[in-house]
Structure 1
Amino acid sequence: MTDLAPRELRVLVAVGSEGGFSAAAAVLGMTQSAVSHSVRTSEGKLGAVLFDRGRSGATPTEAGVRALGHARRVLRLLEVMAAEVRAGGTGPGSLAGPLRIAAFRSAALHLLPRALERLTARHPEVVPEVRIVREVGRGTAGEVLDGRADIGIATVGTTSPVPSGLVGGVLVEEGYALVHPVGHPAPRTLPLVDWTENCTSYTREWWAAQEWLPAATVEAEDDGAVLSMVSSGFGMAVMPELSLIGAPPSVEITDLGAERPTRSVGYVTTPELARSLAVRALIRELRSRTA
């Protein structure tokens, strides 16, 4: 049976976070040789090399990346266990400590604030820690899988399923709309401004079927940059509803009709943290916010 102690897990996480044995030793208050011995012991127990050693430091191997994700999640569960056991009871004081949230930009702007306001009003000892993560590639779900977040606000749904190893649910279904400079006589003739984001296969299929949509002239980092470019008259864009909340008066939003593409936005978390008091409380507030 693999039996890694919390101390060994902390060493692995420190090496992964600091990028080397010496830096991890400084953070942990250990000697470099003790850190190196701990990592070798963990590798022996797991039967895999976790770090590639080199002059520039230590880089996690593929097995190391998986091990670090599990290590962070186990250490976080130990923290949650201690906090909930110490607090006891079911009153406001039973929820305390950090709640780590990963969210993409428009969700952080328009879904989270009211939910967090109500959550912290009911549970003032909870301290939300929100990280804005681009919803590309593994996105916010990857932050949860890697143990860097307790819960992620992610694109989910039947055509964009919750990743294996996580649980989740849909909070809101948002449609896409055409956004263009206000008053333009032929907005569909404008250059297309776009940005990379996770979306459902249905959205991609719809996009590919639209002959009037040209290839993007400019691809921006996020939806805020896209909206700014459209506002300045640079071009048109097809954007989801959350991104268009609070759009400036210099842009016009045109409905794409009944066949418009949609995107499901929801939450993802681990099965273990889904039962924790703070995560359950936030999910309740998010569902109340979007009901």
Structure 2
Amino acid sequence: MLHKLYPLSALRLFEAAGRRGGFTAAAEELGVTPSAVSHAIRSLEDRLGIPLFHRAPGGLKLTEAGVELLDETSRAMQGLSRVVERITRSRSSAGLTLSTGPTFASRWLVPRLAALRRRHPRISISISTERHWVDLADGDFDLAIRVAREPSGAGEWFHLAQERLVPVAAKALAGLPLADALRRVPAIHVTGLREDWHSWATARQIAPPDPAKGVRFDTAHLALEAVAEGAGVALARLPVCAADISSGRLVMLDEPTLSGSAYWLVARPGLLRQPDGRIFAQWLKEELSEAAAC
């Protein structure tokens, strides 16, 4: 059945004015001006073709039609509020589901989960590191961490931090120029990130290591573990690998350079306006900004 509805915003203002007994009180409750309330109710009356308030020097008084509409509107508003609260509470109690790459999870997120729990004990999160592009529209995930130049695709994109690339090696090679280090150990490449060395070298205006030579891994995590063991030189992504560098486990052999990409939190529509989604997004941004400053 086709429902004939009037603007919900106007009905909401009318309900507040009728319940509170005046335009000024309704305006204070809803954070708008009294004139906005008056204009909306006048438009609603014009559409209905009947007055909803008696306007007199002594104040406002609901008409018979106004009393009837207020009763029904209040019940409807209360019902909507209960349904929305129930839905969001149910969704929140199930926790947030996050898809992210294994390197981001293992080197950055996992070491901070205890701190997240202490600061925001209400946040419950389930993490998946399957290396495929998840579709938030299918309902399996609420959030995804992605590295991209700009927003692309479905979901709401929330900027977290710019990405920088820097060549790193084991601390035994600390102080050596990059060229000298690469004469001692091979360059390490990540098969899924084949453009990294080329992008970094282009920005630094030097020749990149030969991609046909060196050692290759299928994940950045394994590449960095190999670097720490002295097996070669690889490109680390900042701020995700900032802790490896600040701890001395890995050493930088040159200056970090912007990759042109950024870390983004992609959320299902509406989640970033809900408490848990908003809190988690702000926490991620704060923590990544702090790591980037190190």
TM-score bracket, shorter-length normalisation: 0.5 to 0.7
Percent of aligned positions that are identical: 15
Gaps of 5+ in 2: 1-80, 290-294
Aligned residue for 1:25?
none
Normalised by the size of structure 1, how large is the TM-score?
Answer: 0.54
Gaps of 5+ in 1: 1-80
Aligned residue for 2:243?
245
Q: CA deviation at 1:271?
A: 2.2
Q: CA deviation at 1:268?
A: 0.6
Q: CA deviation at 1:267?
A: 0.4
In 1, distance between residues paired with 2:94 and 2:118? 11
Q: CA RMSD in A?
A: 3.8
In 2, distance between residues paired with 1:99 and 1:277? 11
Aligned residue for 1:86?
86
Q: CA deviation at 1:286?
A: 1.8
In 2, distance between residues paired with 1:151 and 1:223? 22
- 1:148 matched to 2:140: yes
Contact 1:119 1:282 in 2 (8 A): no
Q: CA deviation at 1:107?
A: 2.7
- 1:193 matched to 2:185: no
Q: CA deviation at 1:202?
A: 9.0
Aligned residue for 1:211?
207
Normalised by the size of structure 2, how large is the TM-score?
Answer: 0.54
User: In terms of Rg, which structure is larger?
Assistant: 2
Q: CA deviation at 1:193?
A: 0.9
Change (3 A) 1:154 1:198: farther
Q: CA deviation at 1:145?
A: 4.5
In 2, distance between residues paired with 1:197 and 1:243? 18
In 1, distance between residues paired with 2:272 and 2:182? 45
**Residues 112-127 of structure 1 aligned to structure 2 (within 5 Å):** 114=112, 117-118=115-116, 121-124=119-122, 126-127=123-124
Query: Quick check: which one's helix share is greater?
Result: 2
Aligned residue for 2:229?
232
In 2, distance between residues paired with 1:162 and 1:120? 31
In 1, distance between residues paired with 2:101 and 2:117? 20
Contact 1:192 1:236 in 2 (8 A): yes
Aligned residue for 2:253?
254
Specify the SS of the correspondent of 1:255.
coil
Specify the SS of the correspondent of 1:178.
strand
Q: CA deviation at 1:255?
A: 2.7
Contact 1:224 1:243 in 2 (8 A): no
Contact 2:197 2:208 in 1 (8 A): no
Change (3 A) 1:148 1:282: same
Count of aligned pairs between the two proteins: 197
Contact 1:155 1:266 in 2 (8 A): yes
Aligned residue for 1:281?
279
Contact 1:179 1:236 in 2 (8 A): yes
**Residues 99-118 of structure 1 aligned to structure 2 (within 5 Å):** 99-108=96-105, 109-111=107-109, 114=112, 117-118=115-116
